[in-house]
Structure formats: structure tokens, C-alpha cells
Structure 1
Amino acid sequence: MAESAAGAREELARRSAYAIAAAFFVLYSGYSLRRHHLLRTTGYDLGIFEQAVRAYSRFQAPIIPLKGPGVHVLGDHFHPILVTLAPFYRIWPGAQTLLVAQALLIALSIVPVARLAVGRLGVGVGLWLSAAYALSWGIQGALGFDFHEIAFAVPLLAFAMVALAERRWRAAVAWTLPLLLVKEDMGLLVAAIGGYLIWRGQRRSGAALVVAGLAAVALTVKVVLPFFNDGRFSYSAYLDPDKDLWSLALSFPAGLFENPRKLVLLALLLLLTGGAALRTPLALVAVPVLLSRLVSTNPVHWEVGRVHYNAVLMPILFVALIEVLPALRADGRLRMRIWRRTAIVFPGIFALMMHLTPWGITNPNNYADTPHYAAARRVLAKVPDGVAVAAGNSVAPHLTGRCRVVIFPPSHGERVDWVVTDTRVRTIAPKTLDQESAARAGLWPPTAEQVQAALRALPSQGFTKVAEDDGVVLYRRTAAAP
């Protein structure tokens, strides 16, 4: 009888997990495609990733013209896992394929989290926490900012963390190792999971993960990325060049108080589970990758809004929370009962609060069309297929699937025959990244002022305006530059 009840509970958890994941896949993909339709995606980064995947689908070197002439995607970040999208892109070419793939990958991460939650906590609490995970601010922030390779890491981490919670050590290792193909810093997470395995007595497999993770970080940062990038690692500037690792460690506490955004990030991560996740060592898996962000000099790395960096932290914290809740329930003390209820309620409250944010998936403002978007689409339709075009950041991903696109104004003197941009876009770089830092990093498109200056110079370069509609302008080269 007990075995029959356990089997029924497991089947209920499995069915519930797939049902909620399917529902959120529909929501995620609808939200992402609607954002793209309304020109709320950007060349930096959706257009960049589409150029890379498009090249992979044609068995070509993944050169990304949006970042400059001859820029190889594996010299920018190490994410060979993007190759797996090439067959799907070959069948359904377009930025939409990447957005749907991201929605599917993130929705897939709900399956193990929901199965664990329903199986251990019952249907009511389990589904509540599953929905809270699916609508957590880290997940919504990633979906609200284009496509990123991190989408692959979220389900891999979710399955790996659940395997750790269920003491399925081999499965945990199997789900963890592919993280090394997602991004150069994922080796830190691999090493952290290895450390947890060692703590659990799985010394051989744990040590193997620690070595593999740290070796992968060193190999990609010191060898692979520089090999494809003229001997440089572009993002080394985000670490203070005047400080070694020891100096960074000593200055870290003071740095937290010098930059309030870092404290806000840590506070929100702590409050997300009411602090309960910290009762299990599982939560410590998040520490290395979180520390690497906090020591960065790039303010975007400390953000809690529409950025993708926080998505990988969500499966770690939620699985840790689910792991610890039964122990809090078993403890009869009043403060433990209060803590348990707080830990259950807080994730849902955070998810509901996301409705009020500009990037909230359930915010109706994110689905409203306006005449401006229709005007922009009319202008973009006039750009012929296969031409070389310099495009503004907000319109670039609508052309990268059918044109050779560079950012406008071209930063390296690339020759193009068409120019299109939306002059109503007031700023391009995110508000958290000052223009001096943006220029120094070379990662973001030009400012609105630079765009206006470049537009005024187009007639003297042989361009003629052929269309303008509600601030969206299109130029074509009709003569050689004098």
C-alpha cells in the first residue's frame, strides 16, 4: 500500500511538472515573440546571437559583423553549445527561432523543480513554489532582455541541482558537465558543484568536477578566447588591473558598501527565499559565480532588472529552498513554523510584484501595439534581402536574418548601401552603464547624439533618404562619396 501511494505521488508530481512547464512555455514564447514584434529586442544582443547561429547553420565561421569586421563569436564569449540551435535555425531562419528556443529551455527547467516541489511538499505548496520559480525575477529578467546562451545553463542547472537534492550523484555529474560548453565562467559553477560532491563524500567525482571546472575557465580565458580575438580576452577590463586575487579578496567587503547596487542584489537574493535557502549547503553552489559578478567593475553585472545574469541563480536557490522546507516543517518550534511560512510566501510575493515592473511577463503594457511600431515595420519592409545595411540597435534584429548588418553608425568604416534607424530611441546603452564605460568596453552601440550626427553626415557620403515614418528613417546609397 505504501509503495502504491508513493508511486501515485510520484506520478502526480511528474504530470504536474510537465503541465506547468507547458503552460509557462506558451507564456514565455508569447511574451518573447511579442517583444520582438514591438521592436523591443535589440541588435546587442539578439542580433549578435542570430548572426552567429545563422553562420553555424550554413557551416561557416561564426563571424558577427555587428561587433566589427571579422569578429569571431568564440573570441567574444565561449559558447559552442549554440551550435545545437543551427539545425532548427536552418529550418526556421529568423530571430524568432532563438527566442522560442530560449523560452523552451527555460520552461524545461521548471520540470525538475516542479517535480521535486510537488513530490516533497504536496500539490498546493509545490505548485505555488513552481509558479514562483517560473515567474521569479531572475527568470523574467532574462526573458525580458533578448536571447543569451545562459538559457542553456538554466535547465542544466535545474536538473543537476535536483539530482544533488535527491542524492543521484552520477546524474548530477552528467547534467553538470555540459555547462562547460555554455560560457567561459560556467566552470566556476561546475567547480562549486564538485565541491558540494566532495562535502557529501563523493570525493572522486567531486574532485574531477573541481579540476574540470577550474581548468576550463583557465583554458577558455587564457587560450581559446584570445586565439579567436587577436590574443586578447575582451572582458579582462572588468577586473581591476591594479589588484591581484588577494587584493580583490581584501577589498571585497568595503566594495560592497561603496556600491549600493551590490547590496541590493544580495538582499533580494536573500529575501527571495526568506533566507531559508541558506540552511542547506546546496545554496553555496551559487557563491563562486555570484562573487565573480560582485568583483566586476561593470555595473550591469550587479543589476537585478532586465538582465540575464540572475537566471542561473534561480534554480539553485529554489532547489535549496525545497530541500530545507521539510526540515522546517518537522521542527515544532514556533519560530521555525513562522520561518517556514515566510519562506513559502516570499517567492510568490516577489513573483506577483514582477507584474508591476516594466519587464514583467504579465504586465499588459508589454503587449500593447502602437502606430510607431507599425510605422517601423513598414520602413523595414523596404530594405531588400541580402544587402549590406547599417542599422540602429532597436531595428537590427529584424534584419540580421536576411541582410548583412552592422551597427549604425559603423564603428570601423564598413561600407554599406543602406542605413535604417529609429530616431525616437533616446538612449542605447543601459542606464546602469555610463557612456565612458560603454565606449571603453566597446560592447554597446553608439549614443543617440552620435546617431544624430551620423545621420546628418549621410548626404555628404552619397546617401539619399528614401523613407521616413514616425521617426524611423531609411537611406540608400545613390552616389559614391565625394
Structure 2
Amino acid sequence: MSLREYTLGAKSLFSTTGSNVRRLLQKLGDRPIYIIIILITSYTAYFSYYTILKHYTFHSTAYDLGVYMQSFWTTIHGYGFFYTSLWEGSLFAPHFQPIVILILPLYAAFPKAETLLILQSLVLALGALPVYWIAKDKLGAKAGVVFAGLYLFYPALHGINSFDFHPVALTIPILLFCFYMFEKKHYKRGIVLAVLAMMCKENVALVVIFIGFYWLWTERIRFTSCLDCKGLLRERDVVYPLCLSLLGLIWFLVAIYIVIPYFNPHGGFVYFGRYGIALNDLLFNIAGKASYILILLAPLAFTSLLHPAILIGLPIFVQNLLPSYSGMYEIINQHPSLLIPWIFIASVYGVKWLSTIRNRSIKTVSTRLLWMLLLFVIVATWIMSPSPIAPNRNMPQLTSHTTILEQAISVIPEDASVYAQNDVFPHICHRAHAYFTLSVLPIRIDFFQYYIFPASVEGRLYRWSHGGNYDYILADATSNHSMFKLCTDKRLERLEREYGIFVQGDGVYLYKWGYEGEPLMLGGK
């Protein structure tokens, strides 16, 4: 081929490619839903990969990925109704979350951690759809795409997605869809979605009550004009929100005072102690709690404060800010889940309000605001995202150390009882007798004798029914969760007296009860 022919061919190829790209961009612009699908797919793929890699590199934990994996496994294999050995009882003892019954068949078909992590990433990503539809109705299709992107880049969403698996995280898109259905006056569908959301955790019912209050407030003129029973029954825009609030109240009371105490062998709702009325709890770590609110609102330029829809999340703000326990007001766990829907919905309405004041056109003002919001969320994600999207976060790496941990786990018989530290537990939890005890420094719990329930700093100590006799104990001295950091000298003495090192390598120690032989060395050390 001559140089001239080659040049002409290259020009033709680039021209064709450029034309195809322009047509593709035009098609995407004409049909923004394609952009949403691309964003959802990209988010799901990225966070599925990231969270699975975290698990493979032993950065998942007993609380809460391990406890769900074990409770699914024990139910499938007939060891009880969502039984977990972490507190020797049902998963329903601390929380009412019947959504796990719907997830169970999926886990039975694919009994792996990857199933839960991919499911969570996909469901969270689907929240971009109702965000898009709500923003599209109020501000136009382009604004809808922008808000969907803001949602998927929201740092608190990344924190929820990055930390193990939690059914309450699944409520984010469900509640967004529920609100959208009520906005479109598809009330029956909205109530079904509200029930589905309440199945994820008992405190979702408080949010559902406030959703009903919000729609009663929007219909307040009709509500006050038909307070007589006959008039009330004729106004479906009043009846359905009222029924929704009543349903939420009944669900909450039944869950807290009937279902959870039934499954809790120690009685009552264990988390009441966290929500005391003492003023010192509320005033504890004011700076940390203020930072929490700042981190939640700043990525959307505080536009959420411009509309009362944010008050739907009021009971969750109180729940998260009242305790002194710092885990309640961080974005690196599941606790902001029930706030995100209202932060975004209020932001959409807030931008609409800013766009209509002083008789300005929605298009002119909202375009400026959208650019500002994009800038805010990019900066916030860059600084605050707990995922490797932020430059100060690294993607977990598979190393020879993780290989040694896997090899140590592989020699443990399937029917053996095992005690493992927090980050190892999810890898040995597919057995009825897998154990872990949460310890919070400076408190050092005797893991041979006690477990803490619930899994929090205000939990109480209870004795193991098995008397602390484990066939194997697996520890990783190099981990931040190393059990050696939490062991007293007395515990270490018992460990050395009753157990021998069966497998050892690169800081990994597998102890076997009564073993007196030489350890199997892994990793050439």
C-alpha cells in the first residue's frame, strides 16, 4: 500500500469514527436514560469489584458481613432460623429485618460473600433512577442526569457501599421509589414499597411515619377541610398518607415490643440503652457531630436545607446524633442510609425553589446551580470518599500474606469449631461453630468465656454456652484487628497452655487444641 493510499484510508477511518462518536453522543443526549444506565452499570461494576477485593484481602469483618453470611448458611443447612453463633441466637434478636427471608433463595443458589456484595452495589446504584425521575420532573432531563450523577458520586453512599453488607442500605433506592410513587399519586405501589423498606430494619418505620406526615403537610388544606370522617374517606390524597403513617407506627411497635423480644433470649430491645435522654450524650463530641452534618450536606452545597422534605429524616438525625457512640455519626458505615433519600429529594426541591425566586427562569438559574453542585460533589468525593475514588485511598492488594491466611484456613476441618478475629471471621463463617467476640479498647473481654451482645460499646457480657472450648483459634498478628492486641496476659497464658501452634507463617498463627507437635510453616518462614 502506498503512503497516499494509507493516508487516505486513515482519514476515512478517523472521519467515520468521529461521525459515529458524534451520532452516539447525540443519541445519548436525546435519550438521557441511556446515560443513567451507563452510570448505574459503571457504579455497580466498580463497587462490586472493590468490595469483593476488600473481602479477598481480609478487609471485611464479622460485623456485619460475617454475621449475615453465617445466618444465611445456618438457615439453609437446618441449624435454626437465621442462627448466628456470635450471640448464640437468631439474627432477629437485635434487629427486625425480614428482608433477609427474600434474600435467602439467592444466597442458597450462590452461597458466597460475592452474592451479597454485588447485590448491595447493584441495589444502591439503582437509586440513581428515582433520583433522575424526581429531578427530571422538577428541573428537566439534563438536571435529572446531573442529580443521578451526584447521587452515584456522593461520599456517604460510597461509605455505606464500602463497609460489608447491611440490609438497611437497600432502603435507599426503595424509599426514593416510594417517595416518587406518592408524588405521582400511585399510592398503592408506594405503600408496597414502604412495606418492603420497613422489612430492611425496624427503625425504617420511623421514616415511613414521617413520609406520611410530609404528604399530609403538602395536602394540609384538604386535610383541615375534611376532618369529618365522611369527608376524610373521600380524599384519597389524605387517606393514603394517613394510612402510611399509621402502618409505620404499628410496624414499629410490633417490631420493638413483640418480634425482637421474642427472638432475643435476654429480652427487650437491646438498643434502647444507646438512646438515653441525658444531655451529656447529646453534647458529647459536638465537633464530630457537626462535622458529620457538614459532610452529609456540603456535597450538595447545602441546598437540602432549602426544603422541608429533609425533615422526613428527622428521627434518623436524632438517632444518629443523640448517642455518644461515635460510630453513629460517621459516613464510613451503614448509619447514614436512611438520611440520603431525603437529602437528595430536598436538594432537588431546593434547587427548584432557587430557580423560581424573583421570577427567573428555571433553566437559567438551575444551570448555574447544577454546575456549582457538580463542583461541590467532585471536591467532596476527592476529599471525603472512603473508596479508592479519592486519591488518598488505595485499592486493596492481594499479597503473599493473604495467600498464607487462605492456606491456614484450608487446613481447618469443616466440622471443627473455630475462633477467629474480626477480619478473618467472614472467611470461616460457613459453619455453625464459628466464633468471634467484639472488644473495644481499653476493655479486653475474655473471649474464652464471654461474648458481647449487642455488638457495640454499650453491649452486655454473656457467657458462652460451650465454655470457651474451641478446636482451633486463628489469629493474624499483622492485622489492625489482631486478637493479640486485645488479649490479657491471663488469656495468652491459657492459649499457650491448652493450644499448640498447628500452622504458622508471616504473622499468621493457627492454634489447635491439645496439639504438641511442630507447626507447619507457611511462606518459607
**TM-score (structure 2 length as normaliser):** 0.76
Which residue in 1 is equivalent to 2:40? 21
Structure-2 separation of matches of 1:327 and 1:190: 25
Stretch of structure 1 that moved more, 158-167 or 389-398:
158-167
Which residue in 2 is equivalent to 1:420? 474
Structure-2 separation of matches of 1:134 and 1:107: 7
Provide closer, same or farther for how the CA distance between residues 350 and 448 of structure 1 changes in structure 2, counting only shifts above 3 A.
Answer: farther
Amino acid at match of 1:419: I
Which residue in 1 is equivalent to 2:442? none
Q: What displacement does 1:451 show?
A: 7.2
Provide closer, same or farther for how the CA distance between residues 226 and 122 of structure 1 changes in structure 2, counting only shifts above 3 A.
Answer: same
Which SS does the other structure have where 1:367 is aligned?
A: coil
Matches within 5 A, 1:245-394: 251=279, 255-256=282-283, 259-304=286-331, 306-331=332-357, 341-342=368-369, 345-346=372-373, 349-356=376-383, 359-363=386-390, 365-394=394-423
- What CA deviation, in whole Å up to 9, does each residue of 1:199-237 have, x standing for no partner? 132321112121221222222222221121132321111
Amino acid at match of 2:250: A
- Does the CA contact (< 8 Å) of 1:138 and 1:313 recur in 2? no
Amino acid at match of 2:56: H
1:153 aligns with 2:188: no
Q: What displacement does 1:347 show?
A: 5.8
Which residue in 2 is equivalent to 1:37? 56
Provide closer, same or farther for how the CA distance between residues 451 and 340 of structure 1 changes in structure 2, counting only shifts above 3 A.
Answer: farther
Which SS does the other structure have where 2:119 is aligned?
A: helix
Stretch of structure 1 that moved more, 32-41 or 215-224:
215-224
- What CA deviation, in whole Å up to 9, does each residue of 1:94-138 have, x standing for no partner? 222211121122122222223444565456543333222112122
Amino acid at match of 2:315: P
Which residue in 1 is equivalent to 2:224? none
Q: What displacement does 1:11 show?
A: 8.4
Q: What displacement does 1:472 show?
A: 1.4
- Does the CA contact (< 8 Å) of 2:213 and 2:242 recur in 1? yes
Which SS does the other structure have where 1:284 is aligned?
A: helix
Which residue in 1 is equivalent to 2:271? 235
Provide closer, same or farther for how the CA distance between residues 257 and 47 of structure 1 changes in structure 2, counting only shifts above 3 A.
Answer: closer
Amino acid at match of 1:34: L
- Does the CA contact (< 8 Å) of 2:178 and 2:191 recur in 1? yes
Which SS does the other structure have where 2:127 is aligned?
A: helix
Structure-2 separation of matches of 1:322 and 1:299: 30
Q: Identity, % of aligned pairs?
A: 22
- Does the CA contact (< 8 Å) of 1:387 and 1:403 recur in 2? no
Which residue in 2 is equivalent to 1:192? 210
Q: What displacement does 1:238 show?
A: 0.3
- Does the CA contact (< 8 Å) of 2:47 and 2:121 recur in 1? yes
Q: What displacement does 1:391 show?
A: 0.6
Structure-2 separation of matches of 1:140 and 1:198: 33
Structure-2 separation of matches of 1:398 and 1:475: 16
Which SS does the other structure have where 2:510 is aligned?
A: strand
Which residue in 1 is equivalent to 2:246? 211
Structure-2 separation of matches of 1:159 and 1:139: 17
Provide closer, same or farther for how the CA distance between residues 193 and 452 of structure 1 changes in structure 2, counting only shifts above 3 A.
Answer: farther
Q: What displacement does 1:389 show?
A: 0.6
Provide closer, same or farther for how the CA distance between residues 427 and 333 of structure 1 changes in structure 2, counting only shifts above 3 A.
Answer: farther
Q: 1:65 aligns with which of 56, 71, 85?
A: 85
- Does the CA contact (< 8 Å) of 1:192 and 1:210 recur in 2? yes
Which residue in 2 is equivalent to 1:469? 505
Which residue in 2 is equivalent to 1:450? 487
Which residue in 1 is equivalent to 2:199? 181
**TM-score (structure 1 length as normaliser):** 0.82
Provide closer, same or farther for how the CA distance between residues 401 and 185 of structure 1 changes in structure 2, counting only shifts above 3 A.
Answer: same
Provide closer, same or farther for how the CA distance between residues 28 and 289 of structure 1 changes in structure 2, counting only shifts above 3 A.
Answer: same
Which residue in 1 is equivalent to 2:14? none
Provide closer, same or farther for how the CA distance between residues 452 and 343 of structure 1 changes in structure 2, counting only shifts above 3 A.
Answer: farther
Task: Output the aligned Cα RMSD.
Answer: 3.1
Which residue in 2 is equivalent to 1:437? none
Structure-2 separation of matches of 1:158 and 1:451: 48
Which residue in 1 is equivalent to 2:114? 96
Structure-1 separation of matches of 2:501 and 2:179: 55
Which residue in 1 is equivalent to 2:19? none
Which SS does the other structure have where 2:92 is aligned?
A: helix
Q: 1:112 aligns with which of 130, 137, 145?
A: 130
- Does the CA contact (< 8 Å) of 1:13 and 1:119 recur in 2? no
Amino acid at match of 2:211: I
1:134 aligns with 2:156: no
Amino acid at match of 2:240: S
Structure-2 separation of matches of 1:273 and 1:353: 9
Matches within 5 A, 1:77-92: 77-92=95-110
- What CA deviation, in whole Å up to 9, does each residue of 1:299-350 have, x standing for no partner? 211223x11111232222112222332343344579x977974565346534
Which residue in 1 is equivalent to 2:428? 399
What is the aligned residue count? 443
Structure-2 separation of matches of 1:97 and 1:451: 38
Structure-1 separation of matches of 2:99 and 2:152: 23
- Does the CA contact (< 8 Å) of 2:143 and 2:370 recur in 1? no
Amino acid at match of 2:273: A
Provide closer, same or farther for how the CA distance between residues 119 and 384 of structure 1 changes in structure 2, counting only shifts above 3 A.
Answer: farther
Provide closer, same or farther for how the CA distance between residues 209 and 110 of structure 1 changes in structure 2, counting only shifts above 3 A.
Answer: same
Provide closer, same or farther for how the CA distance between residues 282 and 12 of structure 1 changes in structure 2, counting only shifts above 3 A.
Answer: farther
- Does the CA contact (< 8 Å) of 2:85 and 2:432 recur in 1? no
Provide closer, same or farther for how the CA distance between residues 293 and 121 of structure 1 changes in structure 2, counting only shifts above 3 A.
Answer: same
Q: What displacement does 1:90 show?
A: 1.1
Q: What displacement does 1:160 show?
A: 1.6
Gap runs ≥5 in structure 2: 1-26, 220-236, 438-446, 451-463, 517-525
Structure-1 separation of matches of 2:368 and 2:76: 49
Which structure has the larger Rg?
A: 2
Provide closer, same or farther for how the CA distance between residues 288 and 50 of structure 1 changes in structure 2, counting only shifts above 3 A.
Answer: same
